[in-house]
Structure 1
Amino acid sequence: MTATTRTLHLPDGSAATQDYALEVTPESAGWRHSGLRVLELIAGGRHTLHTGEDEVVVVPLSGGLVVACDGQTLTLAGRASVFAGPTDFAYLPRDATAELSSEGGGRFALCTARARRTLPVRHGPASGVPVELRGAGSCSRQVNNFATAGVFEADSIIACEVITPGGNWSSYPPHKHDETSEVESELEEIYYFEVAPGPQGQPGLAYHRVYGTPERPIDVLAEVRDRDVVLVPHGWHGPSIAAPGHDLYYLNVMAGPGPERAWRIVDDPVHAWVRDTWTEQDVDSRLPLHAPDRAAAHPPTRPDQNGATRP
């Protein structure tokens, strides 16, 4: 295993701190903008969060949460697990103090990005999260676009969830967003993974690939397990491959230096042709992969076939 792989693939527990099961900051990642913490609270547990320079999106991974900040109290119903459908979430501004409490306990992602503007505290309802089906055939996946550009206002953070049925590939074709141009945005990206267990609780696995260009080399081929993280500072990334029998979830957190909050990507030209094959295939019938009542309340959409700005 190379030093690059060890640095950019963070197995579960390897980035834990006294307060968090996972803590990735711009400083620890060796970059400037994106961060992620995972907070675990026991039943009745409480936590004080100082946002500092960061805007924060609080996303329940399992369980519910009450967030008190700037004179507002937001109650997040949450969900049983990341595979139970979209969740409601909370937005917290920079330079704020929030009190987080959970009557039943749970696990909560704190997605962060360095922010210039101070925006108001807000609640994002689960019913307002656009659910998108991308790709087709064995490249079918589901995207919960809860805090993407054009969906939810923020200063710089872009965040979404991707659910990939067992045996499928997502983040494919490989793509990158590490330069500023008319067709590409410079964005640092965090992948946080959860892997569904087998029918008797057997632990699952997945694989994730990151590779660079001659000018900016990077080389990661990681076997990821439940609650692992992969950091993508630059380069082509994908596929994320779900092992058969084990559905794969990942949370993406992105931010970058550009004044425009936008998610523009370019495909690796060697693999871009695969998009053309999707017109002849159906979306995986297992999708959307969440409770039927949520699917009925907010039916999923499928993007145009060209999908040029969608990983």
Structure 2
Amino acid sequence: MRTLLTPGKETELIGLELADLADGETLDLTRDTEIAAVILSGVVDVDGLGTAGGRAGVFDGPGHTVYAPPGTPLRFRATGGPAQIVLASAPLGDGTPGRARIIGPADQAVDERGEGNWARTVRTILGPDDDAGRLLLGETINPPGNWSSYPPHKHDTHEPPREVRLEEVYLFKVDPEGGFGIQLRYDGQGEEAFTVRDGDVAAIPAGYHPVVAAPGYSLCYLWVMAGQGRQMIPYLDPDHAWVQNG
């Protein structure tokens, strides 16, 4: 298990880890946090819950995620070949934990959002109406050259119903793997832009954060959010909201 993001260091609440299992290898874990284990590729048997996975990679289509409340012992065993799992976690806070279960493709909301060169596919794995305490997560697919998280939005101020405060992290996958995308982040304090490649992560504590895929390369990012409650009320940048409202 490789640590990608550590709460109290790169993030406030969200932890992110990555496990690469060889065929037949097992992973045992019990955490005092709420967790969601996303099967990026391969197949795993999960003791007490069943079999999860089956896609060769995130660009094949929606996959499987294992959700577990705090204190749940889990054992994953890769079967039929290697498997890659990303583990997202967050403290439960005041939320009510969901039941341990496997979330399959049929359990996810898959939406086509935007238009033109900001059209993308969003697979919501754990949304506000799903059985969980704090975590929100899903996968976004950018076609080559397209933008997402667009029009630019933020969710760093807690002023419901205008906006809710949620920190967010991204884990990027690129197809073909040698490609790249650009992650922007800006607010009233400044702005930054950085290249993202296959396997990179980004922690987004605040600010607007649009993403673009380079021409010729599809971009996927697993997004994980946690904060105050489980509403998703992004605030659009007023300078660019006209793109959606026009």
TM range (shorter): over 0.9
CA distance in 1, matches of 2:190, 2:22: 39
Structure 2, unmatched stretches of 5+, are none
Question: 181, 184, 208: which is aligned to 2:183?
Answer: 208
Query: CA 1:99/1:145 → structure 2, altered by over 3 Å: closer, same or farther?
Result: same
Answer yes or no: is 1:114 the counterpart of 2:91: yes
- 1:42-191 mapped onto 2 (5 Å cutoff): 42-52=22-32, 54-68=33-47, 72-103=48-79, 104-116=81-93, 117-150=96-129, 152-181=130-159, 182-191=161-170
Match of 2:219 in 1: 248
Per-residue deviation at 1:218? 5.1
TM-score, normalising length: structure 1: 0.75
Letter in 2 for 1:26: P
Per-residue deviation at 1:74? 2.4
CA distance in 1, matches of 2:7, 2:240: 31
Question: 217, 220, 226: which is aligned to 2:192?
Answer: 220
Per-residue deviation at 1:30? 4.1
Secondary structure of residue in 2 paired with 1:26: coil
Q: Which has the larger radius of gyration?
A: 1
Per-residue deviation at 1:207? 0.2
Per-residue deviation at 1:96? 2.2
Match of 1:270 in 2: 239
Answer yes or no: is 1:29 the counterpart of 2:16: no
The answer to whether the 8 Å contact 1:206/1:242 transfers is yes
CA distance in 2, matches of 1:97, 1:24: 22
Query: CA 1:255/1:30 → structure 2, altered by over 3 Å: closer, same or farther?
Result: closer
Query: CA 1:84/1:134 → structure 2, altered by over 3 Å: closer, same or farther?
Result: same
Indicate the structure with greater strand content: 2
- 1:283-298 mapped onto 2 (5 Å cutoff): none
Indicate the structure with greater helix content: 1
* C-alpha RMSD of matched pairs (Å): 1.5
Structure 1, unmatched stretches of 5+, are 1-18, 278-311
The answer to whether the 8 Å contact 2:4/2:201 transfers is no
Per-residue deviation at 1:88? 2.1
The answer to whether the 8 Å contact 2:156/2:167 transfers is yes
The answer to whether the 8 Å contact 2:118/2:148 transfers is yes
CA distance in 2, matches of 1:220, 1:40: 31
Identity %: 35
Aligned residues: 242
Letter in 2 for 1:228: D
Secondary structure of residue in 1 paired with 2:58: coil
Letter in 2 for 1:237: H
Match of 1:13 in 2: none
Match of 2:207 in 1: 235
